[in-house]
Chain A
Amino acid sequence: MPEPNSSISSFKQFLIRILLPLILIVSGCGYIFNFFFEKKIVLQNQGCGAYKVNRIINSDYPDEIPIFGSSRAEGGFIPDSLGKNYFNYGLSGSKYDVTLFFLEQECMKKKTTPWIILNLDLDGLLYGLGDIANYIPNSGLPQVKSLLGEEYRAYFRLPLLKYYGRFETYVRSYVNEQVELTKVMDKGASIEKNELPSWEFAELVTQRRNSPTLFICDTLLTQKLFRLITTHADRKFVFIISPYHSSFFDKFLNPEMAIRFTDTLRSFSNVSLFDFSKMPLSDSMFLNTSHLNFKGAVVFNRQLRDSLKAIGVK
């Protein structure tokens, strides 16, 4: 017969000899690991989305000209080709709610330069956070928490555990920055070197021709964008529609909506807009039908630089 208290004493033994020491060891080592990982990998690497979110919130570079947008911004704009003060804040996978978050943070800063570059995608103004890993280090801040909305998790506050399943994202970005094996990294820009074989690109073109695109503007996002433009009359907003492959326009269902929207943007006195969407570029300059590769980005940035110079952006 087992002793009546043996179960409790056995559990106590388990708690004291195994569970508590395990929790202590993992938390202790985790805290130290987390400290160095965050300091040396996550927030030190300009190509990492988390670095960009941290930079826009916590750093001040008065003469910096920021470039905001999605992966088309991140992989299409080469800051060093445009000038010495540019920084690419483009976040892969994100939509305009994130662009507006960056814009809002930027507008709160006191700057010596008024210029802000915004990439405009032809799917319109939509919602999409992209990779949550970009927000975790700053998820404790109210503005980031509010941006995350339902995606916010309480464990984002726990050292080490908050990065569970996402370490690879940061390390990949760090390695890309250091080695530049498959990408060219430049002040936040992360541009693919890869040139697809022609048969593979042809497949992408076929896919694109079978998938319709609509320009949709969410009312709240549009209002927010217009409000930011009007309330910050001292800032100059330059919207750029970066190049698309010609196949993109085969099933673009409502170009008139896009034109109406860009016309409205142009009507603001502090807004300029350059449309490079139909810039003639060869297939080898595209990563896919909506993204440039490095070869294409170089050509595009050369023209963009001239256009920006023409309106006085320095």
Chain B
Amino acid sequence: MLLVASCFFYMFFKPVYILILAFTIVIDYVAGIMLENEPDKKKKKKYLVFSILANVGVLAVFKYYNFLDGSFTSLASLGGLKINIPYLSILLPIGLSFHTFQAMSYTIEVYRGHQKAERHFGIYALYVMFYPQLVAGPIERPQNMIHQFYARHQFNYNNAVHGLNLIVYGLFKKIVVADRLSEYVNQVYLHPANANSFSVLLAVCFFSIQIYCDFSGYSDIARGTARVMGFDLMINFNRPYLSTSISEFWTRWHISLSTWFRDYLYIPLGGNRAGKWRMYRNLLIVFLVSGLWHGARWTFVVWGALHGMYTLFGLLTRTSWTKLAAATGFNRLPALQTILSRLVVFVLVTFAWIFFRAESFSKASAMIHKLFAGDYSSNLVQLSAEKGPLNLFLSFLVIGLLALSYKLPYDLKLKNSLPFLAITTFIIIILGKNAGAEFIYFQF
């Protein structure tokens, strides 16, 4: 039933793309069994490489072909060569990066011997296709999911209430906060020339909150939907803007992806076991790949590189900061230290988001130029980004409500859920945007 529902869910977007999913499922299912049956380590490695290549190949064709084509053509034209490689006019299958990574984690875990190969084709297909997390994660591990598909699930009151809490809170984040802020953000990014420095500053800060609410909202809905059915999905976001360092930020933001990169890229590259400089190199590689994972655009690579540099800078200067704090007596004010650190992290992350959100370098540079142009005129039309003062007021109001929601118990495990559900539902109906906007991460 769940598999049928998952197929239906996926086919709802573009039916024919289920064939791509079926292709990788069959390859990885067979690869898993062959990996387990094969005693020869060299052959085992070959199977793994084949399976990974098949998955990465699908990604390369559908997600990166045109990007590589464009980059290669531009590079050739710089060298005076005229190359004409045809563009592929294909739509990116929804959630491709997510289910491909989830499928790869299965074969890698089987190869490492941490997971038994799944013999039941339906169960394996469900592992890749489980609809709550199929299109935008969390990117699960086989150890956490497969055994859950064998368990008998009965309707459970506590699960249902907790799941409903998560779903309603996820909807609040998406419909009330993210979609509201997107009005302002989209307008400023569309016409940065019409904005002043203050409206650009607001737009970039709003985008930080928008993308957090958009993506973590989806994760909450996915976890909630699974929870109602009795399944446990991993926590994907843990209040990331409360981080006091960039390294900590990445333990709180898109946790399922950062742990994926840690386990399947950073550690295999040598992690921090092969000396400082190798560790720095590995970190940079991980962040660059992470940038590219998000989208086939150089702006995403710059976004990843910025995070890589932030992290390296943090690691390199950690001791100096500690010494400076001790010398100035700043370490005796831990609360202030925390607030300042959080602010610095927010500023750095927000700056990097400019490259993530901008469709091109010229757009990103226009935004940055405006940001530092020092144009703080009090033009109401510019301040409200042509969307009216009410929209600006509501944007601040919903941010206030989001901040207030941080007072709720961790992971919304409430003693009495009814007041929370009633108030949040009411807020969603009254303040929700009926924009029909897609989740940002669906495109990845």
Q: Which of A125-167 contact B (CB under 8 A)?
A: 160-161, 164-167
Does A273 count as interface, using CB distance less than 8 angstroms? no
CB-based contact B154/A10 at 8 Å: yes
Does B160 interact with chain A (Cβ within 8 Å)?
yes
**One of A14, A25, A29 near B157 (C-beta < 8 A):** A14
A2 to B230, CA, bound (A): 14
Residues in chain A near residue B394, CB distance under 8 A: 168
B417 within 8 A of A: yes
Inter-subunit contact A164/B434 (CB<8 Å): yes
Q: Which residue of B lies closest to A165 (CB)?
A: B434
Contact A161 B160 (CB under 8 A): no
Query: Does A200 sit at the interface, judged by CB under 8 A?
Result: yes
- Using A29-B426, A30-B426 as known contacts, say yes or no to A167 and B154 having CB atoms under 8 A apart: no
A166 touches B155 (CB 8 A): no
A40 within 8 A of B: no
- What is the bound-complex CA distance between A18 and B420, given in angstroms? 11
How many chain B residues touch A (CB < 8 A): the figure is: 29
CB-CB contacts below 8 Å: B335-388 with A: 380-381, 388
A18 engages B417 (CB within 8 Å): yes
Contact present for A165 and B433 (CB under 8 Å): yes
Q: With the chains together, A85 CA to B422 CA distance in Å?
A: 47
Which residues of B sit under 8 angstroms from A11, Cβ to Cβ? 155, 157, 160
| A105 interface residue per 8 A CB criterion | no
Tell me how far the C-beta of B396 lies from the nearest C-beta in chain A, rounded to whole angstroms.
14
B140: min CB distance to chain A, Å: 25
Binary interface encoding of chain B residues 407-444 relative to chain A, with 1 for a CB under 8 A from any of its CBs, else 0: 00000000001100110011001111111000000000
Q: How far is the CA of A17 from the CA of B161 in the complex (A)?
A: 10
What does the 1/0 interface line of A13-33 toward B look like (CB < 8 Å)? 110011001100110011001
Given known A-B contacts A18-B161, A18-B418, A18-B421, A200 and B194 have beta carbons under 8 A apart: yes
Check A7 against B425 for contact (C-beta < 8 Å): no
* Cβ–Cβ contact A160 & B434, under 8 A: no
Distance A268 CA – B154 CA, assembled complex (angstroms): 75
In the assembled complex, A194 has its CB within 8 A of some CB on chain B: yes
B389 A181 Cβ-Cβ under 8 A: yes
- Interface bits A196-219 vs B (CB < 8 Å: 1, else 0): 000010000000000000000000
Task: Tell me the complex Cα distance, A160–B417, Å.
Answer: 22
Answer yes or no: B164 CB below 8 A from chain A CBs. yes
Q: Which residues of B in the span 143-164 have a Cβ within 8 Å of any Cβ on A? A: 152, 154-157, 160-161, 164
A194–B432 alpha-carbon span in the complex (Å)? 29
Q: Are A160 and B161 in contact (CB under 8 A)?
A: no
Task: State how many angstroms separate the Cβ of A30 from the closest Cβ of chain B.
Answer: 7
A42 CA to B381 CA, complexed, in Å? 25
Query: Contact between A22 and B422 (Cβ–Cβ < 8 Å)?
Result: yes
Contact partner, A14, options B154, B161, B425, B432, Cβ 8 Å: B161
CA distance A25 to B154 in the complex (A): 28
Contact (Cβ within 8 A) A164 B161: no
B433 touches A175 (CB 8 A): no
Q: With an 8 A cutoff between CB atoms, is B390 at the interface?
A: yes
A168–B417 alpha-carbon span in the complex (Å): 28
Is A269's beta carbon under 8 Å from chain B? no
A21-B429 contact in complex given A14-B161, A168-B390, C-beta closer than 8 Å: no
Check B432 against A26 for contact (C-beta < 8 Å).
no
Does A84 touch B at the CB level, under 8 Å? Answer: no
A171 on interface, CB distance cutoff 8 Å: yes
Q: Does A231 contact B (CB under 8 A)?
A: no
Shortest A208–chain B CB gap in Å is 17
Chain A contacts to B: CB under 8 angstroms: 2, 6-8, 10-11, 13-14, 17-18, 21-22, 25-26, 29-30, 33, 160-161, 164-168, 171-172, 175, 181-182, 194, 200
Supply 13 A–B pairs (Cβ within 8 Å), ascending by A. Answer: A11-B155, A17-B157, A17-B418, A25-B422, A26-B425, A26-B426, A30-B426, A160-B429, A161-B429, A167-B430, A171-B390, A175-B390, A182-B388
Taking A7-B155, A165-B433, A168-B394 as known contacts, 9 extra A-B pairs with beta carbons closer than 8 A to each other, sorted by chain A number, are A14-B161, A18-B160, A18-B161, A22-B425, A26-B422, A29-B422, A165-B435, A168-B391, A182-B389
